[in-house]
Amino acid sequence: MKTGNLLINNNITMPKKIKSIDELKQIADNEDGAECYIVLAGGLAKSSKLIKYHEPNDKFYIINYVDSTTQELKPKQLLNKKYTNIGEAIIKNAFYAYC
């Protein structure tokens, strides 16, 4: 649909700010997982990831698109910078998912 100079496409998925590990569990607990990203350098760059959550073993499976590395992390490890910067990004309101 076109309105004035604005083109509206109902099929576009807007990113959603993820505010907690529990919220990430909800959106990533499916066969496809969740396409996510961390906003870096004040919005000048982003770090994209595919994240799947597997509830029976309480683990996140992460593919980092920048270098194709993979990680298997427990929820507490997401909050530890030793493993990933996802937890820090959630705390700083810089973590988003397309859902």
Give residue 3's pLDDT: 43
Average pLDDT over residues 70-78: 97
Give residue 10's pLDDT: 64
CB count in 10 Å sphere of residue 92? 11
Residue 14 has pLDDT above 50, yes or no: yes
For residue 21, the enclosing domain spans 14-98
Residue 1 has pLDDT above 70, yes or no: no
In DSSP terms, which residues pair with 37 in a beta bridge?
48, 96
- Asked, for residue 57, whether it belongs to a domain, the answer is yes
- Rounded distance between C-alpha atoms, residue 98 and residue 91, angstroms: 18
Q: How far is CA 68 from CA 49, 62, 86, in A?
A: 9, 10, 16
Q: What percent of the chain has pLDDT over 70?
A: 89
53 burial (CB, 10 Å; 0-12 / 13-18 / 19+) is buried
- Asked, for residue 28, whether it belongs to a domain, the answer is yes
Q: How many domains does the chain have?
A: 1
Give residue 13's pLDDT: 81
